[in-house]
Structure formats: C-alpha cells, structure tokens
Chains A and B, each alone.
Chain A
Amino acid sequence: MSTAWKIIIGVLLAALATFTIGVLSGRIWWFSEEPPLMIIPDMDDQFHLKPQGEARFFADNRAQRYPVEGTLPRQGRSYPFAMGDVDSAEKYFAAGNPLPKTEFVLARGQNRFNTFCSPCHNYTGTGDGLVQRRGFGNQETMNLIRQAAREYSDAKIFHVISAGQNIMPAYADRISETDRWAIVHYVRQLQSKAAAGGLSGASASTANGSTTSKSMQ
C-alpha cells in the first residue's frame, strides 16, 4: 500500500472517530442561536393556540385571554382585599387558619415558604435572605420572628401574603389559598422555635446555619 493511501485512510478514520466521539459523548460542544433544523416537519407545528403563545387573530397578539367579565374560575378564587386592607381581612378570616396543623401541612408550608418567601425573609424568617441582602427593603420590617410579627393574627399574615405589604408584592396569583394557610402554619412554627431558642432579629441570622436545622423538626 502506498503512502498516499495510508494518509487518506488515516484521515478518514480520524474524521470518523472525531465525529463519532463528538456525537456520542453527549457533550454539548456546539451552540446555535438559530431554531432547530426541521428536516421533515410533519405536523410538529399545528395551528392551534398554545399556552402563553402568540395569536395573530387577536389585536394584542395574545393567545391567553382574560376571563370574561362576570365569570368565575372553576378552581380557586381571586383574593378580594386590597393591599393594606387588613381590617376587612381580619373580619373575614376571623375563624383563623382552616388547615389542621399536621406534619404534612407543615411540610407543605416549609416547601412553599422556602420557594416563595426565603429569597427575602431567609429560610429562618430573619429577614436577611440573599435577595434582601442585594438591596431590597430593610431587614427589620422583613423579620418575621420579631416580637411585633409574632403578635400578628393568622388572618393578617394570610392577608399580607395574599395582597402584599410595603414593597412586598401580592402572591395570591402564584400561591394557592390552601398553600398560603400552610405557610401561615409554618411561619408560626418558625416563630415559636425562634422564641424557644431566644433568637430575635439579626442575632438569629448570624447563627442560623445550625439553628435552622433545629426548627425543621
């Protein structure tokens, strides 16, 4: 076999190896800003409205429409009270928390609290979450385990989660009513654990690495 053939075969084998390893290794080594290539589009893109999609039929191009006036959703309901309207909320929810304080409900409360509240209020409720430290509000008013916040009624906490307060936005659209009551249970648990541990405000946050774990159980 001549040298030329050896070189040709060598190059071919090398190309084959690179290609195969590149494809089969599962590593992303190539990025594209263009939409994926559709060699045979079949019925990949059908003519119907998609969630959060675009619809040229409507003037504002939105596929998702607002509910027709005077209609009610099948699940859930919108929160009736505006931000700051604590009195009406306390009157309306005078019965307090409708959920039983079970392990399951507390676990749910922890899950939702960690998801929606911890960015600002921190995992322990001390009000110095990573987003708060980024320059969002002041820690004292965000501290959930301070004395003033411990004296809030369940209804008031529920109202603040639902409608917001000061710079805190309303969460009624993202957390279901049941989950909000579960969060109220969990906040109460955080507060009582903090009270038992003699923690309040900033002193808790410095030691919260280990104290958090206590409040979990």
Chain B
Amino acid sequence: MFSQRVDRILKASILGGGAVLTVGALVLYFGMRNDVTDVGYRPQQPVPFSHKLHVGELQIHCQYCHAGVEVSEHSPVPTTSTCMGCHIVIKAESPKLQLVRDSWEKGIPIQWRRVHKLPDYVHFNHSRHIRAQIDCQSCHGNVEIQGVIAQNKPLSMGWCLECHRHPEKNIVAARPISGIFTGEQLPENYREHLFEPINSNLVQGVALRVRPISSPQFGAWETDVPTPTVAGIPHPKLPGYGPENCSACHY
C-alpha cells in the first residue's frame, strides 16, 4: 500500500516516538523525586567553615555548637559568640574569619545558607528524635568527612515514612561524637570509638518491642513514653516505630 520509503519513516517514527515517550516518562518520574532535585545541594557558605576539620579532626561534638537541639524543635545554628569562644584566640588574624569578627564587633548576624529545608506544612521535631537516641548521621550523613555540607538524604515524605515503618533498617544509633544522652555512662573504651554507634544493637533489638499497640496502621499514641525530663535532665527513650498518621507531622 505504502511505498518503501514511507514504510520506513513510519516504522522509525513509531520507534522513535516510543523511545522519546519512555525517556520523557523516566525523566519526569525520577527527575521530580527529592533524591534527584534535593540531594547534593551544597551551597557555598559565607564563612568557609569545615566540619571535616572541626568534627573529624578536632572531635568537637555536634552539640557543642548545635546546643539546644535536644530540647528544641529547631536545631540551632551556632551564634557568633560560639565561634568567637575559641577564635578570639585561635586564628585570630585569619582573613577567612573576617566576617565572623565583623559580626562579633558590629552585632550583625552571619547569613548562613540553609541546606536542609522541609516544606513549611510539615513539622519535624529534632528534640524528639534526639531523645530517641537516633544519631544525627541517620539524616545528615557523614558530616565529619564533609568540607562543605551537602544535603545527604532526600527528606521526602516517602523517605520519612520508610524510616517510621522500618526504623531498625534505617537508623544509626547514637554515637559519642553526637553528644546524644543515652542515660548511661559510656562503655569503657569509648574514646577509640567516638564515631561508631555506642550500642549498635539498640535499634534492631528494641524497635520491634515498642510498636504502638493501638491501630497498627495509623497508630500514633505510644503508651510507654517516659517522662520528658527527670530533675530537669532530658530523659532518653528507646527508639521505636514512628507514628504514621497524618497529624503526627502535618499539624
């Protein structure tokens, strides 16, 4: 019916069109996922601060600067006075720290660029997760080897829920370097293992035990939550399954 040339063009366009559609669908599906759009976001900060130096080499614990994370929803970025606590003496003349000194003298905040940003309609409470002895590394990756901080995990809803459903597969248990309080003195040899979980069996062993008993699918109300503080000290609790109902995070 058709000439050979038309036949060939028809075949080619069907195959080509199919290929374009497939690739387009793949790009749309994967390209819009948070692990493509958000992971690897690594902005240049106004001050060239290196976590690799401060955490990796000098072993300054996470909470030394991000103090208050265990009692607050927001993990605070350190104030200028925290920087100047040491840098008023150490590297006091360094040109890299000029902005910090200006901030210190004039009282102008340093405009750090935010790396990890959740949508405003979702609430993530740092203190709750820290109190459950979940290490910073679970969500922020290996900060101690990063010169410039990059987003390491997608922070998408699917990613959150994956961990709420299977914490034993996803959580890194508290490490000494994070300064997370576990309620007990550290094991004797902790100084050789600052960057390793204090008790790596913790998550796997305990998570299965404390699944909330009411309505397994949407269960949010844990029945055995210890009091938040004991004599003013934040009381750690065991990590367990996270709530899966909407209002746990969207309120």
Contact = CB atoms under 8 A, between A and B. Distances in A.
Given A33-B42, A174-B82, A182-B233, A134 B26 contact: no
Contacts of B5: none
Secondary structure at the B interface, as helix, strand, loop or mixed, is loop
B188 A114 contact: no
A115 B89 contact: no
A45 B114 CA distance: 13
Given A31-B40, A32-B42, A114-B176, A108 B181 contact: yes
A30 interface: yes
B120 A48 contact: yes
A176 B232 contact: yes
A108 B231 CA distance: 11
B246 interface: no
Interface stretch (B53-61, B93-101, B163-171, B205-213): B53-61
Interface string A94-112: 0000010001111110110
A43 B119 contact: yes
Contacts of B41: 31-32, 34-36
Which of B30, B41, B71, B121 has the most C-beta atoms of chain A within 10 angstroms of its own C-beta?
A: B41
Contacts, number: 157
Contacts of A80: none
B38 interface: yes
B68 interface: yes
A71 interface: no
Contacts of A136: 86, 89-90
Interface string A46-58: 1010011010000
Contact of B109 (A15, A62, A178): A62
Given A33-B42, A37-B37, A130-B59, A217 B119 contact: no
Contact of A169 (B71, B73, B85, B188): B85
A177 B90 contact: no
B76 A52 contact: yes
A54 B112 CA distance: 11
A175 interface: yes
A45 B122 CA distance: 11
A26 B85 CA distance: 38
Interface of B: 15, 19, 22-23, 26, 30, 32-44, 57-61, 63-64, 67-68, 71-74, 76-77, 81-82, 84-86, 88-90, 108-109, 111, 117, 119-121, 150-152, 176, 179-192, 230-233
16 contacts: A8-B15, A19-B26, A28-B39, A36-B117, A44-B121, A51-B72, A114-B179, A116-B67, A119-B59, A130-B57, A136-B90, A167-B88, A178-B233, A209-B191, A213-B188, A216-B187
Interface of A: 8, 12, 15-16, 19-20, 23, 26, 28-37, 39, 42-46, 48, 51-52, 54, 60, 62, 99, 103-108, 110-111, 114-116, 118-119, 123, 130-131, 134-137, 167, 169, 173-179, 182, 209, 212-214, 216-217
